Amino acid sequence: MSFLRVAASRSGFRVFGFCSRLRMTLQNTPDISAKGCSSSCENRSELRWDLRPEQIRQRTEKLMQRIKHAYDSVAVVDVEKVCYENTLQVLAEAKLDYAASRHMLDFPQYVSPCKDVRSASTEANKRLSEFDVEMSMRSDVFHRLVALQERRCTDLFPESRRFLERLIKLGRRNGLHLSADVQKEIKKLSKRISELSIDFNRNVNEENTVLMFSAEELDGLAESYLNSLERTEDGRYRVTLAYPHYFPLMKRCHVPETRRKMEAAFHSRCKEVNTEILEQLIELRAKAAKLLGFSSHANYVLEMNMAKNSSSVSRFLDELYEKLKPVGQKERQYLLSLKQAECQRRGLDFDGRLHAWDLLYYMNQVEQVKFAVDKDKLIEYFPLEVVTEGLLGIYQDLLGLRFHQIQNPHVWHESVKLYTVLNSTTGEEIGRFYLDLHPREGKYGHAACFGLQPGCLGPDGKRTIPVAAMVANFTKPSRNWPSLLQHHEVETFFHEFGHVMHELCSRTRYAEFSGTLVETDFVEVPSQMLENWVWEKEPLRRMSRHYIDGSSIPDSLLDKLIVSRVANTGLMNLRQIMLSKLDQALHTKSSADTVAEFSKHCKEILGIPATPGTNMMASFSHLTGGYDGQYYSYLWSEVYSMDMFFSHFRTKGIINPEVGKEYRRVVLEAGGSVDGVEILKRFLGREPRQDAFFQCKGLANQRLSPRIFFSRDKNQRGG
């Protein structure tokens, strides 16, 4: 599962939220030469990652001055003389300039190896977020846009009309049609919300807890895992809370007390400071929503999504829960039986309960016992270099592209790689992407795609090439061991790179609609669909090779892996339902006790209590990175993604270039210039269905009520 991709600010500027975009024209950019790349595409990657803290501060101030000047020029236009050129075009160019400059200033907070640079970038993000609010509250500009709409211009391109309508809708969502007093209060709340969200994410990124364990306390962990850990002088192992350390330990360590300590630490990250921040955010969001006439923050954010309101989301989650509840109950009983058998075998006390630190461990055993998947053997076939080579080859063949690694690139860390992307037919460069795949201190701790430069038309009518970065935390290679990936990490890689392709393949007129700037409950559809490739033999063979002798994965191991896809279906999806319902509960109230809410939902839905003294919400960055009130989007999107895969790729060939090119043309190139539901209909050639979703989950002959999809109900307002 990927994290936090699109965050739409209340300002109407699509601000940085783990999938953003940027373009910048700079002097003295380091020379870049690309293997296989023509001279016409040299020196076109104009992003700089060597800015010092003072330069970040200076550029931030200059950027704000430049954009304010553009908005001021619109504000002084006589209302009777507004036209496309003096309003919409000026704002479009300003937004491109802003998107083309901002993320060179605020992206380093997530990836820079220098703490001073990260701090300066975080402060720049705060300043720019405050500026976003200021620009979003320009009622003088808003009234010019309304005047332009009232002129009913007939010569606008469809995407230009969509752009105009969007700006006006965002203005109303900022309260620009309300009284000056209400606008003042909304501005104050918006600035505080932005500031708190940035602080929350900074706290998570800078968290650096380390636990020390002896070899005996790590019983059950593979040799490759132990070799990846640093050791102290007394022989103990240093285990961080980064994903490559946390998840293998929780799945494989035989010692319950070790797992308990690890789980408690992981879900106590930033507990004191971020619990307070999140609960403040919930109150502030509720206040802002009420001022704007919405019954809740959830209904406020959902107005811009496919679901439209919280009632549709609630029906969706409730129906899915009722279908998965009995499956989850059976799976819990089976896990409990595995625990009882292990306790007897190891001479441990059996307490008759499943704890939070038991869940991943016994779910992993299900794959071994029921499906006989040998994880220790499987990981040997997924060295990172082989996975990367195979993955890039699959995407190239599928989408009609060619990737070439750029030698000696200008990057933020020596381990980062940069590639140029060419259209395989014309040779035209269509974009560039970075791969930053290993953990380091202060780096963003999950896996995500960051858009860094939009693909759209510039003021001169020429297309700017999009640039994106995939940031992940796969195990680092060591002196004696390569970086070996678990299969779920291969899935994560394939998923996140799907977002990179969405960023690079879009062909929109405006930066506002570039790449993944689509509805939040549609943004996961393309990448979730592409996860299916890592459960099919042909792609798996292309992405795997034994790290020692280069041999292929045996058919017997592949068959067991593919069948194991339905392992723990109930519990994994119940966890997603639990988090989605929890998110809705927090954002349909005016205040909340996040510890109590998390404990309540864990027990009631997942059937496993939260560990006392912990609060997973304090490090749940989705709720401060653009998924507040919208976490359901992962499940909602998966329903559509399965329909796309089974109706086209499964029936016509999963590496069928014709289907892949149609997918690129209809789905990826559209970006956000077309509604998600319309994109689905165009690609499917019909209304979407849910059958494939349940088939993939091993729940054949199930259906969701059609009323929960494509809701056109009005937002719930008032009381």
Catalytic residues: 496
User: Angle at CA 268, nearest 5°, toward 262 and 270?
Assistant: 130
Backbone angles phi, psi at 464, to 5 degrees: -80, 140
Listed residue (691, 628, 664) closest to 17, CA to CA = 628
Q: Which helix (H) or strand (E) holds 453?
A: strand 448-453
User: Angle at CA 637, nearest 5°, toward 286 and 15?
Assistant: 50
Upper half-sphere CA count for residue 674 (Cβ side, 13 Å): 18
In order of 50, 107, 467, 680, the CA distances from 112 in angstroms are 9, 8, 18, 38
Burial (CB count within 10 angstroms: exposed 0-12, middle 13-18, buried 19+), residue 549? exposed
Signed CA dihedral, 8, 9, 14, 15: sign only = negative
Contact 472, 405 (CB under 8 A): no
Signed CA dihedral, 44, 439, 404, 398: sign only = negative
Listed residue (31, 41, 23, 45) closest to 427, CA to CA = 41
CA gap 522, 640 in Å, rounded: 9
In order of 48, 84, 670, the CA distances from 440 in angstroms are 20, 48, 36
- Segments of 21-148 assigned E as strands: 33-34
Burial (CB count within 10 angstroms: exposed 0-12, middle 13-18, buried 19+), residue 156? middle
Listed residue (619, 640, 620) closest to 630, CA to CA = 620
Residue type (1 letter), 450: F
